[in-house]
Amino acid sequence: MRKDIEIPKVTGVEIAVVLETNEIDNKEDWNVYILNKKDVDLEMVVIVSQGFSDTKTTSVFRRKIDKLPANSYQKFELMQPELFDLDNRFQVTFFEDKRLHDKTFIFQAETIQEGFLRDIEFLGKRGIVCK
């Protein structure tokens, strides 16, 4: 019976951590974006994030995006630099063509740093992408 269960592979969805200037106070902020590089809309997107290590665990943070249009992106979280010493997990669940999809993205500890920033053409910004 288990062989009858098909788990679709998630492609075309990415998470990016971007360093950008906050227009209100002109300071640098680390923001997290979800990128939908697919040609179809994603519906009922649920993102669950948490930082963790062997000795520490942060609170679980949940958010929902009703619809993420095809070939678009959305900022969904401000990330504090104190979290960069932890592994940061983003579990993304969504419906695509009425089928449930799920993927976990992990930014390992110490990988979110200015030295690792790269141009993200899709966003037109510099950041770190987890595919």
Report how far residue 36's alpha carbon sits from residue 18's, in angstroms, rounded to the nearest whole number.
Answer: 16
Six token digits for residue 117:
């920033």
Mean predicted confidence (pLDDT) in 44-63: 97
Report how far residue 107's alpha carbon sits from residue 72's, in angstroms, rounded to the nearest whole number.
Answer: 22
Burial readout 73-84 (b: 16 or more C-beta within 10 A, e: otherwise): bbebbebeeebb
Whole-number pLDDT of residue 124: 95
Q: What is the DSSP letter of 8?
A: P
Domains along the chain with CATH numbers: 13-120 (2.60.40)
1 pLDDT tier (thresholds 50, 70, 90)? low
Mean predicted confidence (pLDDT) in 98-117: 96
Q: Are strands 87-96 and 42-52 parallel, antiparallel or unpaired?
A: antiparallel
